[in-house]
Amino acid sequence: MLRGLLSRECVHNALIKPKSDINKALCLTLRYREDTIEQKMENEFNTSTSFILLGIEEMEHNKYLYCAFLLITYLLILLFSCLIISVVLLDESLHCPMYTLIANLMLNGIFGASCFLPKLILDLFFSSKVISRAACFIQSFCVTLFAFCEISIFTTMAYDTYLAVGHPLRYPTLMTNKTALRLIAGFLFFNIISMLINLLLSARLPLCGSHINNFFCDNLSIFILSCVDNSPNKLYSAAVFATYIPLTVLTIAYSYVRILLICWKVSQSASRKAIHTLVTHVSNFAIFMGAVLFIFIRYRLKSINLPLVVHILPSIIGSTFPPLLNPLIYGIRTKALKIKVISHLQKMMVKI
């Protein structure tokens, strides 16, 4: 529109005084200013240095209540998780695959909660909703890595439990501490490489927006702000999601179904105990996966105008519930670990 107005003004001036040097100079000056304005606008869109987290804006009306809740949640995650990790590390009788995997799950929970909770608490307290471009990409990488590592560890734990129940005699050779750590390391390497590729694909995009419908940055929130075609990002994300998630979920489902069938053949009391334990584990995993699936699908539903709270709630559930519930589920409900934790706490109380 600006170019059209300026062009018409130049033509009008040229018709009135076609031989006037003043008009020619005026046209050149106006065109230069026009090009400068357009270039500045383009640069502003393409080199956004910060993003606005709309989720924080939504939470500001009760920010002190949210701050207190999130701070208590974060401290409990650190306390419970660090307690279980320290007990597993210090007690040699717990140096076996199952407890090694539980300790890794706790460690990943600390990592996941630390990706966003400290910053979110500070942002709410100081009413700041801006995050720099670099910090946003780093947070996006960490949050996504946490989610995929959580799924990986759940999968490895389900497979480990199946081997322990289904092949008790061969279990010591099929699954050792080294084997468990190698599986975790292999998953971690794959997850880091996959997330780095995702991050690089998003970092190359020129962005025409700065508003993110969440209280933290994630990769999907970033690349939908692209000014250009982001099909490569969509295809890559869909390919990773469509291969990784079904494989891990099917592995978990197969392992738990086989465990139930084996326990059912042994006795009804054993099957009831197994069902009670597995339902707890599956429920925790289902909450996490439900939140992950919703976050992934919501960006495909552009035609549906969802309230901002609908974007925020699954993110809160998926990012805080598993790190908080995992220590309670696997620490308190695992008998041997529960005894060791109580013993460890009693020793600490005696020293105090």
pLDDT of 18 reads 47
Give residue-wise pLDDT tens across range 84-143. Answer: 999 999 988 889 999 999 999 999 999 999 999 999 999 999 988 899 989 999 999 999
pLDDT of 89 reads 92
Give residue-wise pLDDT tens across range 272-315. Answer: 777 777 877 788 888 888 888 877 777 666 545 667 777 777 78
Backbone angles phi, psi at 230, to 5 degrees: -110, 30
Fold of 50-351: Rhopdopsin 7-helix transmembrane proteins (1.20.1070)
Separation of alpha carbons 282 and 167, rounded Å = 22
Q: Which pTM value belongs to this model?
A: 0.81
CB atoms within 10 A of CB 124: 22
pLDDT of 302 reads 57
List of the chain residues with pLDDT < 70: 1-48, 270-271, 299-306, 352
Q: What string of DSSP letters covers 198-229?
A: HHHHHHTS-BS--EESSSS--HHHHHTTBSS-
CB 58 within 8 A of CB 311: no
For residue 295, give the nearest of 315, 277, 317 by alpha carbon.
Answer: 315
pLDDT of 299 reads 65
Domain boundary assignment for the chain: 2-42, 50-351
Write down the residue that tokens 């042994």 correspond to. Answer: 266
Q: What string of DSSP letters covers 83-152?
A: HHHHHHHH-GGG-SHHHHHHHHHHHHHHHHHHTTHHHHHHHHHTT--EEEHHHHHHHHHHHHHHHHHHHH
pLDDT of 11 reads 43
DSSP 8-state secondary structure symbol assigned to residue 62: G
